[in-house]
Structure 1
Amino acid sequence: MRNVLAIFVALIAGVMVYPMLASGQSTKETNLFSAAANDDVATIGTLLSKGVDIDARDGDGRTALLVATHGNKVDAARALIDAGADVNAKDNIHDSPYLYAGARGHLEILMMTLAHGADLKSTNRYGGTALIPAAERGHVETVRTLIEAGVDVDHVNNLGWTALLEAIILGEGGNAHRQIVDLLVKAGANVNLADRDGVTPLQHARQRGYKQIEAILVAASAR
């Protein structure tokens, strides 16, 4: 009853509450997740100085760093990464701070993960690298950053799609996706790598009436 009352009072006060989590989760570890969710750097520092496990997991397998990344809490993420948090630690659905930051376009956190050992070959639950969902969602600077970091531009996910195919098939054909297609082509993406049905990027672009993207592909000898 006291825990329920405390949560209710905190909600009334406008504070984000992180619920008690996995079996055996200590109060200090729970507080670390709450601090990460609230971008509370001071509390993070205090808890870590007391020996709290920086890579403890919640009921969904998330670390405090992944919680911070979910909310794009840059200061909390920086504090945790600087203290040694694992940027590649995956949760129960195979998201890691690195993969999630890339997929969601959280560029500042992404760059921190890249500077602290991000595994460029790691994949999400769809078998895709961070580059593929970034391309799909139109995160231009994220795509640029991942290409420069060395992510494989021709990686094929479980759906049989590359970043180039996803940018066309699941994109909107607008300026952001046009820029992404241009970036991928200039980075050496195979413009003729077809999907599982044998449909090429150029054919997908033509089917959707994406004239500017079509022009980029044709200039790169796409068929």
Structure 2
Amino acid sequence: MLKEQLLTAAVTGDAAAVREAVIEGADVDARDSRGRTALLLAVAADHVEVAQILVSAGADPDAPDAQHDTPWLVTGVTGSVAMMRALLPAGPDLTVRNRYGGVSLLPACERGHVEYVREVLKTGIDVDHVNDLGWTGLLEAIILGDGSERYQEIVRLLLAAGAAPDLADNVGVTPLEHAVAKGQHEIADLLRAAGAGRA
């Protein structure tokens, strides 16, 4: 009963009910039928206060669900900087990978979450992490982005953080080649300014 109270309250953002369940002894890492903990449910719905309560109670930011999502990884999907900050005190594993082999930086680059990218790069996360598709955050922003200002800013942030401008995908196509092929002229110029294509 406590488990259901905790999970339901996490989904709905009922911080008082979450706190009550924790005080009454609920297992903070109990899971629903899809393997999702209360913290993962709270993160997915961006219920920051609930997440803070759960983190204070010792909830695991790296507990994976059935599809290998964890609370920390989901912050990269939602792009919530407030949630990312709520989870950092729990000491999340910055190297944990999603089902595509990516760290939290990659879905944030794909989805154009500028402020998340800006903040997560301050944690020391690997700016050149390569996922199972052979893509880095830089490649995600170019291949899956639309070249708009927010994706240009993500490219700027990644390059400023030391991203390798010529790190190619697993078939040898470089970020610059992808940008040119997609007509992303501003991004191509940013890459060239960072030294891309000089080799």
TM-score (norm 2): 0.96
**Equivalent residue number for residue 193 of structure 1:** 167
The amino acid that maps onto 1:208 is K
Asked whether the 8 Å contact 2:13–2:47 carries over to 1, the reply is: yes
1:136 is displaced (CA, Å) by 0.7
The amino acid that maps onto 1:134 is A
Structure 1: tracts of 5 or more residues without a match: 1-26
The amino acid that maps onto 2:128 is D
**Equivalent residue number for residue 29 of structure 2:** 55
Detail structure 1 runs of 4+ shifted over 6 Å in the superposition.
none
1:173 maps to which of 138, 142, 147: 147
Q: Distance in 1 between matches of 2:11 and 2:155?
A: 34
Q: Secondary structure at the match of 1:209?
A: coil
Matches within 5 A, 1:40-51: 40-51=14-25
Q: Distance in 1 between matches of 2:119 and 2:92?
A: 13
1:60 is displaced (CA, Å) by 0.6
Matches within 5 A, 1:5-20: none
**Equivalent residue number for residue 102 of structure 1:** 76
Q: Distance in 2 between matches of 1:115 and 1:47?
A: 21
Moved more, 119-128 or 45-54: 45-54
Higher relative contact order by CA 8 Å / sep ≥ 6: 1 or 2? 2
The amino acid that maps onto 1:119 is D
1:113 is displaced (CA, Å) by 1.2
**Across the two proteins, how many residue pairs are aligned to each other?**
197
Q: Distance in 2 between matches of 1:67 and 1:203?
A: 39
Q: Distance in 2 between matches of 1:155 and 1:128?
A: 7
Q: Distance in 2 between matches of 1:194 and 1:150?
A: 22
2:156 maps to which of 161, 182, 199: 182
**Equivalent residue number for residue 66 of structure 2:** 92
1:90-120 C-alpha deviation (Å, 9 max, x unpaired) = 1111111111012210211111112220111
1:162 maps to which of 111, 136, 142: 136
**Equivalent residue number for residue 137 of structure 1:** 111
**Equivalent residue number for residue 57 of structure 2:** 83
Q: Secondary structure at the match of 2:169?
A: coil
Q: Distance in 2 between matches of 1:163 and 1:48?
A: 37
1:120 maps to which of 94, 99, 102: 94
Q: Distance in 2 between matches of 1:206 and 1:193?
A: 15
1:124-179 C-alpha deviation (Å, 9 max, x unpaired) = 01000000110010000111111110110111100010000010000010011000
TM-score (norm 1): 0.86
Q: Secondary structure at the match of 2:28?
A: coil
Q: Identity percentage over the alignment?
A: 49
Asked whether the 8 Å contact 2:10–2:38 carries over to 1, the reply is: yes
User: What RMSD in Å do the two structures reach over aligned CA positions?
Assistant: 0.9
1:219 maps to which of 179, 182, 193: 193
Structure 2: tracts of 5 or more residues without a match: none
Q: Secondary structure at the match of 1:78?
A: helix
Structure of larger gyration radius: 1
Q: Secondary structure at the match of 1:185?
A: helix
Moved more, 154-163 or 40-49: 40-49
